Amino acid sequence: MPAADESRAAFDSSAFLSTCSGRPGVYRMFDVDAKLLYVGKAKNLKKRLASYFRQSGLAPKTAALVGRIAQIETTITANETEALLLEQTLIKEWRPPYNILLRDDKSYPYVFLSDGDFPRLSIHRGAKKQKGRYFGPYPSAGAIRESLNLLQKTFLV
Protein backbone atom coordinates (compact mmCIF):
# COMPACT_ATOMS: atom_id res chain seq x y z
CA MET A 1 0.00 0.00 0.00
CA PRO A 2 1.52 3.38 -1.01
CA ALA A 3 2.16 6.05 1.60
CA ALA A 4 -0.37 8.88 1.81
CA ASP A 5 2.06 11.37 0.24
CA GLU A 6 2.81 9.07 -2.72
CA SER A 7 -0.87 8.66 -3.59
CA ARG A 8 -1.24 12.40 -4.19
CA ALA A 9 -0.07 13.79 -7.49
CA ALA A 10 2.92 16.12 -7.24
CA PHE A 11 2.51 19.76 -8.30
CA ASP A 12 3.37 20.08 -12.00
CA SER A 13 5.60 23.15 -11.90
CA SER A 14 6.58 23.08 -15.58
CA ALA A 15 2.94 23.07 -16.73
CA PHE A 16 2.12 25.88 -14.30
CA LEU A 17 5.12 28.01 -15.29
CA SER A 18 4.35 27.61 -19.01
CA THR A 19 1.11 29.55 -18.45
CA CYS A 20 2.43 32.02 -15.86
CA SER A 21 2.67 35.75 -16.63
CA GLY A 22 5.89 37.74 -16.52
CA ARG A 23 4.07 40.78 -15.11
CA PRO A 24 4.19 42.06 -11.51
CA GLY A 25 1.82 40.52 -9.02
CA VAL A 26 1.11 38.44 -5.94
CA TYR A 27 1.14 34.67 -5.64
CA ARG A 28 -0.50 32.40 -3.08
CA MET A 29 0.67 28.83 -2.44
CA PHE A 30 -1.74 26.21 -1.08
CA ASP A 31 -1.37 22.65 0.24
CA VAL A 32 -3.50 19.61 -0.72
CA ASP A 33 -6.18 20.66 1.80
CA ALA A 34 -6.40 24.12 0.14
CA LYS A 35 -4.77 25.69 3.22
CA LEU A 36 -2.82 28.86 2.44
CA LEU A 37 0.89 28.25 3.04
CA TYR A 38 2.57 31.36 1.71
CA VAL A 39 1.90 34.75 0.08
CA GLY A 40 4.60 36.46 -1.97
CA LYS A 41 5.02 39.31 -4.45
CA ALA A 42 7.10 39.57 -7.58
CA LYS A 43 8.23 42.12 -10.13
CA ASN A 44 8.09 39.24 -12.61
CA LEU A 45 5.79 36.40 -11.48
CA LYS A 46 7.18 33.81 -13.89
CA LYS A 47 10.84 34.37 -12.90
CA ARG A 48 10.06 34.49 -9.18
CA LEU A 49 7.95 31.33 -9.19
CA ALA A 50 10.49 29.49 -11.37
CA SER A 51 13.11 30.16 -8.67
CA TYR A 52 11.17 27.89 -6.28
CA PHE A 53 11.41 24.91 -8.62
CA ARG A 54 15.12 24.91 -9.49
CA GLN A 55 17.06 21.70 -8.91
CA SER A 56 19.41 22.91 -6.17
CA GLY A 57 20.27 25.78 -3.87
CA LEU A 58 16.98 26.09 -1.99
CA ALA A 59 17.05 26.92 1.71
CA PRO A 60 15.64 24.11 3.89
CA LYS A 61 12.54 26.16 4.79
CA THR A 62 11.89 26.91 1.10
CA ALA A 63 12.41 23.26 0.14
CA ALA A 64 9.89 22.23 2.83
CA LEU A 65 7.39 24.78 1.47
CA VAL A 66 7.86 23.60 -2.13
CA GLY A 67 7.31 20.00 -1.03
CA ARG A 68 3.87 20.90 0.32
CA ILE A 69 2.62 22.96 -2.68
CA ALA A 70 -0.46 21.52 -4.39
CA GLN A 71 -1.75 24.70 -6.05
CA ILE A 72 -0.57 28.24 -6.81
CA GLU A 73 -2.84 31.18 -7.55
CA THR A 74 -1.61 34.49 -8.95
CA THR A 75 -3.03 38.00 -9.10
CA ILE A 76 -1.52 40.38 -11.65
CA THR A 77 -1.10 43.98 -10.47
CA ALA A 78 -0.38 47.22 -12.31
CA ASN A 79 3.06 47.58 -10.71
CA GLU A 80 5.36 46.32 -7.96
CA THR A 81 4.08 48.86 -5.42
CA GLU A 82 0.51 47.64 -5.86
CA ALA A 83 1.80 44.06 -5.44
CA LEU A 84 3.56 45.04 -2.19
CA LEU A 85 0.37 46.57 -0.77
CA LEU A 86 -1.74 43.55 -1.74
CA GLU A 87 0.85 41.12 -0.33
CA GLN A 88 0.96 42.97 3.00
CA THR A 89 -2.84 43.02 3.23
CA LEU A 90 -3.14 39.28 2.51
CA ILE A 91 -0.40 38.36 5.01
CA LYS A 92 -2.06 40.37 7.78
CA GLU A 93 -5.48 38.91 6.98
CA TRP A 94 -4.54 35.21 6.57
CA ARG A 95 -1.23 34.90 8.50
CA PRO A 96 0.19 32.06 6.37
CA PRO A 97 2.60 29.79 8.28
CA TYR A 98 5.56 30.26 5.91
CA ASN A 99 5.44 34.08 5.89
CA ILE A 100 7.50 36.13 8.26
CA LEU A 101 5.30 39.00 9.35
CA LEU A 102 6.65 42.53 9.13
CA ARG A 103 8.64 43.15 12.31
CA ASP A 104 6.91 46.36 13.34
CA ASP A 105 3.49 45.19 12.09
CA LYS A 106 2.61 48.82 11.29
CA SER A 107 -0.21 49.68 8.97
CA TYR A 108 0.47 51.70 5.85
CA PRO A 109 0.15 55.47 6.19
CA TYR A 110 -2.62 57.58 4.68
CA VAL A 111 -2.88 61.31 4.00
CA PHE A 112 -5.74 62.67 6.12
CA LEU A 113 -7.71 65.84 5.37
CA SER A 114 -9.90 66.67 8.38
CA ASP A 115 -13.40 68.18 8.17
CA GLY A 116 -14.32 71.51 9.69
CA ASP A 117 -13.78 75.24 9.25
CA PHE A 118 -9.99 74.84 9.49
CA PRO A 119 -9.15 71.50 7.84
CA ARG A 120 -5.82 69.91 8.67
CA LEU A 121 -3.67 67.92 6.28
CA SER A 122 -1.62 65.21 8.04
CA ILE A 123 -0.25 61.66 7.98
CA HIS A 124 -2.51 59.03 9.57
CA ARG A 125 -2.01 55.38 10.55
CA GLY A 126 -4.54 53.06 12.13
CA ALA A 127 -8.34 53.15 12.36
CA LYS A 128 -10.15 55.72 10.25
CA LYS A 129 -12.48 57.08 12.94
CA GLN A 130 -12.06 60.83 12.49
CA LYS A 131 -14.34 62.70 10.10
CA GLY A 132 -12.60 63.75 6.93
CA ARG A 133 -11.07 62.27 3.79
CA TYR A 134 -8.36 59.61 3.72
CA PHE A 135 -6.04 59.22 0.72
CA GLY A 136 -3.86 56.16 0.31
CA PRO A 137 -2.49 53.80 1.48
CA TYR A 138 1.09 54.72 0.61
CA PRO A 139 4.15 52.49 1.07
CA SER A 140 6.47 55.28 2.26
CA ALA A 141 5.72 57.61 5.18
CA GLY A 142 8.88 59.57 4.32
CA ALA A 143 7.58 60.34 0.84
CA ILE A 144 4.26 61.53 2.31
CA ARG A 145 6.07 63.86 4.76
CA GLU A 146 8.16 65.26 1.92
CA SER A 147 5.05 65.85 -0.22
CA LEU A 148 3.15 67.51 2.66
CA ASN A 149 6.13 69.80 3.36
CA LEU A 150 6.23 70.78 -0.33
CA LEU A 151 2.47 71.50 -0.30
CA GLN A 152 2.88 73.58 2.83
CA LYS A 153 5.69 75.68 1.31
CA THR A 154 4.00 76.04 -2.08
CA PHE A 155 0.44 76.82 -0.96
CA LEU A 156 1.19 78.16 2.54
CA VAL A 157 -1.22 75.72 4.19
Query: Are the beta carbons of 36 and 94 closer than 8 angstroms?
Result: yes
Q: Distance from CA of residue 43 to its chain's centroid?
A: 12
Single-letter residue type at 117: D
Please list, in sequence order, all residues whose beta carbon lies within 8 angstroms of the beta carbon of residue 17, skipping any fewer than 6 positions away: 46, 49, 50, 53
Alpha-carbon distance of 127 to 94, in angstroms, equals 19
pLDDT single digits (tens) 36-71: 999 999 999 999 999 999 988 888 888 899 999 999
Query: What's the pLDDT score for residue 37?
Result: 94
Alpha-carbon distance of 134 to 111, in angstroms, equals 6
Q: For 98, which DSSP code?
A: T
Region class of 110: left (phi > 0), else alpha (psi between -120 and 50), else beta: beta
User: What are the beta bridge partners of residue 117?
Assistant: none
Residue 101 pLDDT > 50, yes or no? no
| Residue that wins the pLDDT comparison between 140 and 4 | 140
Q: Is the pTM of this model over 0.75?
A: no
Residue 102 pLDDT > 60, yes or no? no
